[in-house]
Structure 1
Amino acid sequence: MEYEGLNRSLNFLVNVRNVIVGALVTGLHSQIKKYRKTKWADIKHWFYCWHVVKGSKAHKELELVVMQKELLRVIDQLSPCQQTSALESYLKDVCFFAPKSQHFMKQ
């Protein structure tokens, strides 16, 4: 099914719509890998990260973190764009080089 869908889609985009396809992202289907190599060798082929790591130990540990009740409760309120990490990083550096525990008097 994936092969047929990719075949039809690429043929339509390239041959009918004259779209230049530079990259393709798919799962790890061997049929698709072979098809891309033989017919569309000039297209860069990427794999979904999810398909590569979903059974790994790292995935299981990440799942433990992201499925915590507190995170799930507030996730819809997390800011999608404005973050304070740059400011926090800057202030951390300031505190490292000029710690609050030391006072410098202007003379």
Structure 2
Amino acid sequence: MLVAFIVIMTLIFWQQEQTHRKEEQLILEDTASMIQVEILTAEKVSEGYARTFIIPASLQGAPYTVGQDNHTVIVSTQQYSVSKRIPEVHGELRFGLNSIRTGNGTIYVN
């Protein structure tokens, strides 16, 4: 009886952990996609486009990082990382309010 209880509890814990991991990956994917869409929109609309958008400081209370490298936006936690291709962007993304604009065929953030 005790062994069955331990096995069941282990399975429940494992399933909860898997669910948490999937949620974390989906949140990272959503955040990276949101940033990518903002930048792609700026690339496609007319010259002089300007808008602000918010990158949350944490994802459901968990810390994470946002960066850009070689035409890629990268969103990461300690366990996972999601990257999305973006056009060339001048400036750095940051947590909180971000300004994005176009001028002279260039995309600028902040």
Q: What TM-score, normalized by structure 2, do the two folds share?
A: 0.27
Q: What TM-score, normalized by structure 1, do the two folds share?
A: 0.28
Question: Which structure shows the higher strand fraction?
Answer: 2
Between Structure 1 and Structure 2, whose CA radius of gyration is higher? 1
Question: Which structure shows the higher helix fraction?
Answer: 1
